[in-house]
Structure formats: C-alpha cells, structure tokens
Amino acid sequence: MPNRLPDAKLCRFLADCNARRHGWVGFQKSARRVAERMVRQMTALDAYTTAQVLADDGRVDSDAVTTADIDTAADLADAPRPTSPDDRHTVRLALDTIGGAR
C-alpha cells in the first residue's frame, strides 16, 4: 500500500472529532485549518513566500537556516510546511535567490 496523505475531508473530520473529544469547541476552526494545511502540497509560490518571510527576518544565509526556521516561516506565510527534503531545498534555493538580489 503506497504512502499517501489523507484527503482533506478525512483530516477535517478527524480534527473536529479530536476538538470535540477534548472540549476545544472554540478551537475547531483552527484545528481544521491546521489539518487542511497538512494536506496541501507546497508550490513554488509557497516556497518563495516562505523564503521571503525568512529574508524579511534577516535570515538570508540558507546554510544557517534550520528546518524549524523554515517550518515557522511557512506558518507565518500561511503556506504548508515542507514535507520532503525537496521542498526544503526549494525554499533554500528561493532564499539564495532573494539573498543574492539584496
């Protein structure tokens, strides 16, 4: 059976069930948003906006940027977190491009 991400409908259902079980009625919407973000694939535009957030914070050296930095920047850019090394490499390439232009 191949590894694949669950579809968005299942993620929303699981997020709602988890929120209800723990009594997080006010957090259902944000739990759904997080679940939907986990399903979305990272596009080139998402990688660029993530790199732009890092560059705006003064982190233009792609070798010094950690995975946690990229994840935080993706959250701030309202983009999906990189799920593969290729996605993180794309963010680093975009960061090098932005850093070279400054």
Q: How far is CA 75 from the centre of its chain?
A: 5
Tell which residue, 84, 90, 97, 91, has the closest CA to residue 50.
91
Taking only the tens place, the pLDDT of each residue in 38-53 is 556 788 899 999 999 9
- Cβ-proximal residues to 31 (8 Å cutoff; 6+ apart), any chain: 15, 16, 18, 19, 24
Tokens of 10: 């299942």
**Residue 86's pLDDT is what?**
87
Do 49 and 32 lie in one domain? The reply is: no
Taking only the tens place, the pLDDT of each residue in 75-95 is 999 898 898 888 899 999 999
Do 58 and 27 lie in one domain? The reply is: no
**Residue 10's pLDDT is what?**
65
Do 33 and 48 lie in one domain? The reply is: no
Looking at the predicted structure, is the pLDDT value of residue 3 above 50? Answer: no
Measured in residues, the chain has a length of 102
Better-scored residue on pLDDT, 73 or 16: 73
